[in-house]
Chains A and B, each alone.
Chain A
Amino acid sequence: MSRTLIALVEDKPGVLARVAGLLRRRAFNIESLTVGHSEEPGLSRMTIVVESDLIGAQKVAQNLNKLVNVVNVEDITEQPTVARNLALIKVRVSGGARLEVLQIVNTFRARVVDVGLDTLVIEVTGTDEKVEGLVQVLGAFGIVEMVRSGRIAMLRGSEPQ
């Protein structure tokens, strides 16, 4: 199973390499890892999804906490969270497929962000399941290219991490 961890890290050179290197060295499988600025200058927030059980995730968190540049780590898998994934999907729409694809895009509340002669680029955000669902449906038309952000997540409620 996969578990989601959120890490607040100092925005210093090499931090991503330290985190990724530690996960590699301790033989943890990364499903996705995203990183970007946080609300506080000098700090970045990472969302790390690892293939692991609860005990494994605890070990990941403890080891990450040992890194000097990691301010804190939390396993939020069991907590109420908002989690989102973003995907850009370039799909083939030759022949009469265009209308059908546009309908699907509407149904999924996705957006068309580029129109080509025989392709559309679709932007979708949502839970892993929603994005995965759209990818599956569009697969029938022929996906030319796809890029996904990986999961970003945040605890619900008013308390910051």
Chain B
Amino acid sequence: MRRTGAQIVWEMLRREDVDVVFGLPGGAILDTYHCLQEYGIRHVLVRHEQGAAHAADGYARVSGRVGVAIATSGPGATNLVTGIATAMMDSSPMVCITGQVSTALIGSDAFQESDVTGITLPITKHNYMVTDVDDLADVIHEAFYIARSGRPGPVLIDLPKDVQQAETAFVPPDGDVPLPGYQPVVPVDPAEVREAADLINEAERPVILAGHGVLMSGAVETMRAFAERIQVPVAVTLLGKGAFPGHHSLSLGMMGMHGEAYANHAIQEADLLLALGMRFDDRVTGRLERYAPKARKVHVDTDAAELNKIVRADVAILGDVGQFLDEILPLTETVSQRPWLAEIERWRGESHSRDILDRPSNGRLVAPYVIDTLQQETGGQVIVVTDVGQHQMWTALYYELDCPNYLITSGGLGTMGFGLPAAIGAQIAEPDREVWAIVGDGGFQMTMQELGTLVQEDLPVRIALLNNGSLGMVRQWQEMFYGGRYEATPLANPDFVRLVEAYGIPSWRVSDPGDTLAAIGAARSQPGPAFIEFQVAREGDDGNVYPIVPPGAALHEMIRRPDLVGEAETGREGHL
């Protein structure tokens, strides 16, 4: 069976069960594009390669399958870089295929040549440059295997033009991947599980910290059964949202810099932290020397390099979270009464109402109200994709959800511009589900050209733009920690409604809280994409995310929403 390299690309993608790719053609990848038609794989044409990478990432996170992005050499490939780094930080399975100048020209600074394998070396799980067409099929097979196995991540394949053109006898890989140095999953050590169980059985004030790894391991149900059996409250990381039902009585919500006060208090007062599939990011720990000082730590992760990287674990367990939970469950004693929970309840009552439920009622539209309304309207039953910044934290705090993989967000890299293209990928992964992109005015303008992709693909993504006329999170830091000097954060914005309407997308503008519900209803009733601009408060209590752990502070030293007690005369009320 003679095939060109270009044909082998599509042949192999089909064999790897790929039915959609995101990309943008160019000179060095033209041969591959030329054969696309023969293979019946859907191609989503983006407006900028960064959009292709984020869309493939969003697709992967929602579907659990490998997302595929394709770009040409040089600038096409370098435009993928931000998206690849985003996927790497959040362990998202992705394969990127980039064109490259012909092998004879490599190293000569040819037109649109860039050293993409060199550039992406530290931001890919692995990468390849294929210089012999006979290696191509095996490389693609390996790339998919590496991307999806163990701790997933992006893999890049750089494909010189002459390799795409070269013909060879196509031999499908036989399934075995000969990678002597790659051990994606290591079985958990029963002795260590036993040790962990002893610590859990002894603990009086335990807290489970659930991360992205719980979702990726498919261990949501097991963890819930486990938490209920031993009556341990569960705090989640940003990427762990959905790993535990947000409305469960044992749920502490999100931990960390913008976590709820009672969740952070619980962590600081705990005598045991059971960290599952999370990596103690600095946004989670606050000041490390004073992090959870009373707690012993059990850390379970599938990546050996994460164990003891930041927090020294008393028991560090390498392996799959799901397998760990299966094995520890029978070793733990059922708990019926845990006084610790009552203590947490007292903190919850006070902090949840103060930081989350309280809202100014001065007639101004505030972002938490918008998110809360969307949450109530949708019942937490839609896929929400965020950008990065204040609106992301508000979404994490106010859009409580019970379903796994329903909040898609750039956590590790914090990539502004992620929201819209990732929502495109999410909608393609789940065409029958409602998808909302919640974005800010800063990040939206980094990738809003993908509105063109949205329209061309006729995807019914709903976009909620929270417009506060500034790079809000940076502005908040300037207000709180930099003496209120708003250097380079105010934005002179376009008329977003007219701009989006120019793409033919029905659009609404809301500045009065009373119009919020109707606009959301109108957007939801559209058969195709829809857009709402919410003009929300910019500054002060109305425009800031609370609580916030200041940089350098310990986790419990949060800045809380200013206390509203005794401020009734200023026109505030206790609840929505």
Contact = CB atoms under 8 A, between A and B. Distances in A.
Interface of A: 8-10, 13-14, 17-18, 21-22, 25, 55, 58-59, 62-63, 65-72
A68 B182 contact: yes
A158 B304 CA distance: 29
Given A14-B117, A17-B118, A72 B309 contact: no
Contacts of B117: 14
B126 interface: yes
B314 interface: no
B121 interface: yes
A59 B146 contact: no
B122 A69 contact: no
Contacts of B307: 62
B160 to A, nearest CB: 13
Given A14-B117, A17-B121, A22-B122, A68 B181 contact: yes
B305 A66 contact: yes
A71 B129 CA distance: 20
A62 B305 contact: yes
B571 interface: no
A24 to B, nearest CB: 9
Contacts of A8: 181
B138 interface: no
Contacts of B125: 68
B118 A55 contact: no
B327 interface: no
Interface of B: 117-118, 121-122, 125-126, 129, 146, 179-182, 303-305, 307-309
10 contacts: A10-B180, A14-B117, A17-B121, A18-B121, A62-B304, A66-B303, A66-B304, A68-B146, A68-B182, A70-B181
Given A17-B118, A22-B122, A25-B122, A10 B181 contact: yes
A154 B181 CA distance: 20
A58 B180 contact: no
Most buried by B among A13, A59, A68: A68
Contacts of B129: 13
Contacts of A69: 181
Given A10-B181, A68-B126, A68-B181, A55 B308 contact: yes
A155 to B, nearest CB: 19
Given A17-B121, A68-B146, A59 B181 contact: no
A66 B186 CA distance: 13
A136 B491 CA distance: 64
B126 A63 contact: no
A1 B305 CA distance: 22
A9 B261 CA distance: 48
Most buried by A among B125, B303, B305, B308: B305
B292 to A, nearest CB: 20
A82 B303 CA distance: 32
B305 A63 contact: yes
Given A63-B305, A66-B305, A21 B180 contact: no
Contacts of A70: 181
A59 B309 contact: yes
A14 B122 CA distance: 13
A37 to B, nearest CB: 16
A62 B302 CA distance: 12
Contacts of A22: 122
A63 B305 CA distance: 6
Contacts of A59: 305, 308-309
Given A10-B180, A68-B179, 20 more contacts: A8-B181, A10-B181, A13-B129, A14-B121, A17-B121, A18-B121, A21-B121, A21-B122, A55-B308, A59-B305, A59-B308, A62-B304, A65-B181, A66-B303, A67-B181, A68-B125, A68-B126, A69-B181, A70-B181, A72-B181
Nearest to A13: B129
B118 A71 contact: no
A55 B309 CA distance: 9
Contacts of B118: 17
A58 B180 CA distance: 21
A58 B308 contact: yes
A124 to B, nearest CB: 35
Nearest to B181: A71
